[in-house]
Amino acid sequence: MNQLGKPFLQIISLLLGLLVLATALVGMIGGVVLISSSGIQLPSLKDSNSETETTIEGTEVKPKYLEDPAGMWMAPDWSKVELEPNAEEIKYGRDLIANTAEYLGPNGKVRKMSNGLNCQNCHLQAGTVPLGNNYSAVASTYPKVRSRSGKSEDIPKRINDCFERSLNGGILESDSREMVAMVAYMNWVGKDVPKGEKPKGVGLYEVPLLDRAADPEKGKSIYINQCQSCHGQEGQGLAKQDGSGYIYPPLWGSNSYNQGAGLFRLSRFAGYVRANMPLGATFENPLISDEEAWDVAAYVNSMERPSKDLSQDWPDISKKPMDHPFGPYSDSFPEVQHKFGPFKPITEAKSKSE
């Protein structure tokens, strides 16, 4: 009898517990209905990855994206490249952009002439990402006179600039198979952009200027929290096991871009990371703030890297950008301010002089 009574009591206890729980749920639902019917607004749950930020009722809802996606440039449909008469050239050019080190790196199977980075380490997804340093306006704007050289430059000259600066290497002959292929690919990427025009989303995001100098020490903390997992504690990236380049590129040191590269300018680096970094970020869903972008740029660009002779750059020094980090300058601001800021006084003084 005792053996039968114990399970019976357990069942009775379970049923009583379920009855209490059901009563509580009914009470909660009734309370919600009563509150709703009285006109009181309940707080809503919002997905943390929603396109808009949570705001107080009555204030403007601000989109998370850096630029309105409407009208943003998009690369041509790669699946239709076979329709082009020079399709094989275009495909080889894309492969060279995406896997530069395999062909032209320290162990390149075509030529050994660069530091192991790929062009698409700076020009994301082979130069097709909006605000990812894309190639959308290359065909439409070259040849053109560039202030850095003071001369008219064509596409091969611009590509060789990247080889000498960002890839810290040598140059390709304009009529080489590789150069012809890369030019063909860039022309294809920008084939729908009218001559002389720059589409929305070209180049890099222009990060608003700070009221202070960018801070390398703050940037170090951001680097540790946001960048170190891919690029490593010492900034040397993650090399491929076969020696054909990097899975994640080095951001400083002997195998990174040199002091003549575009990303050595703080505004360029900040714009690049603001819209594209850390891994997974896009201009539609940025993952770091303006201040964080400036500070991490200051940290990375304060580290050692290869040097380059820049004596022939900017023959007209008045055309140097605000953040070109080497003098002389046509203004009275010191070199350290031209490197780290604050940049607002520099730009304001320049606009007044003009």
Per-residue pLDDT tens digits for 285-340 = 999 999 999 999 999 999 999 999 999 999 999 999 999 999 999 999 999 999 99
Distances (CA, A) of 287 to 198, 202, 226, 277: 26, 20, 9, 7
The residue type at 187 = N
SS3 143: coil
Exposed, middle or buried: residue 248 (CB in 10 Å: 0-12, 13-18, 19+)? middle
User: Is the CB of residue 115 less than 8 Å from the CB of residue 253?
Assistant: no
pLDDT digits (tens, 9 = 90+) for 152-183: 999 999 999 999 999 999 999 999 999 999 99
Burial per residue of 37-66, b for 16 or more beta-carbon CB atoms within 10 angstroms, e otherwise? eeeeeeeeeeeeeeeeeeeeeeeeeeeebb
Residue 17 pLDDT: 56
Give the ranges where the chain is alpha helix by DSSP (H).
Answer: 2-37, 87-98, 100-104, 124-127, 138-141, 155-164, 177-189, 216-222, 228-231, 266-276, 290-300, 335-340, 344-353
Q: Comparing C-alpha atoms, which of 303, 265, 262 is closest to residue 162?
A: 262
- pLDDT, residue 243, reads 85
Average pLDDT of the chain, as a whole number: 88
> How much of the chain is helix, strand and coil, in % rounded to 5?
45, 5, 50
The stretches in the chain having pLDDT less than 50 are 1-4, 6, 26, 29-59
Give the phi and the psi of residue 312 in degrees, each rounded to 5: -95, 0
Indicate left, alpha or beta for 58 from its phi (over 0: left) and psi (-120 to 50: alpha). Answer: left
Q: In terms of pTM, does the model score above 0.75?
A: yes
pLDDT at 19: 57
3-class state of residue 299 by DSSP: helix
Which pLDDT belongs to residue 353? 87
- Concatenating the DSSP letter of every residue in 194-227 gives PTT---TT-SB--PPPPSS---HHHHHHHIIIII
C-alpha angle 147/206/122, rounded to 5°? 75
Residue type for position 181: A
Looking at residue 21, what is its pLDDT? 54
pLDDT given at position 33:
40
Rounded to whole angstroms, how far apart are CA atoms 37 and 214? 53
